[in-house]
Amino acid sequence: DTGVSQNPRHKITKRGQNVTFRCDPISEHNRLYWYRQTLGQGPEFLTYFQNEAQLEKSRLLSDRFSAERPKGSFSTLEIQRTEQGDSAMYLCASSAPPGTQGNPYEQYFGPGTRLTVT
């Protein structure tokens, strides 16, 4: 499967614990995005990277959230001191650089990591 992959697919944690999610984008996609989706809502933007540079973070993203993309390939999203309100589906997406074949504007989504904070 050459699509976007995310691990783990499900995570259950107790309030106050730290969690880390991983996203592997489509090979050679230079942009990588993190979104959060709660039940009955559309995905909500969290942050995005161009190669290894984090170019934008949502104002909604508290300082408990941090994301990295150290070598411009996979990315990790860490949530420290989880709260029940962090329970959601965390989606990763990637898009190709300009000039490549296909639709350069399309964001390809991964299957998501479902986080449940008890």
Partner 1 sequence: GENVEQHPSTLSVQEGDSAVIKCTYSDSASNYFPWYKQELGKRPQLIIDIRSNVGEKKDQRIAVTLNKTAKHFSLHITETQPEDSAVYFCAASKSTGGSNYKLTFGKGTLLTVNP
- Residue 44 within binding range of partner 1, rule CB under 8 A: yes
**Tokens 């944690």 map to which residue?**
13
- Residue 72 within binding range of partner 1, rule CB under 8 A: no
Q: In this structure, are residues 25 and 94 in contact, taking their beta carbons and an 8 Å threshold?
A: yes
111 alpha carbon, distance to own chain's centre: 11
- Residue 24 within binding range of partner 1, rule CB under 8 A: no
Only one of the segments 18-26, 29-37, 61-69, 73-81 lies at the binding site for partner 1 (rule: CB under 8 A); that segment is 29-37
> Could you tell me the two tokens for 80?
């420290």
Helices (H), the chain: none
Residue numbers of the site for partner 1 (CB under 8 A)?
A: 4, 31, 33, 35, 40-45, 48, 56, 58, 91, 95, 97-99, 103-112
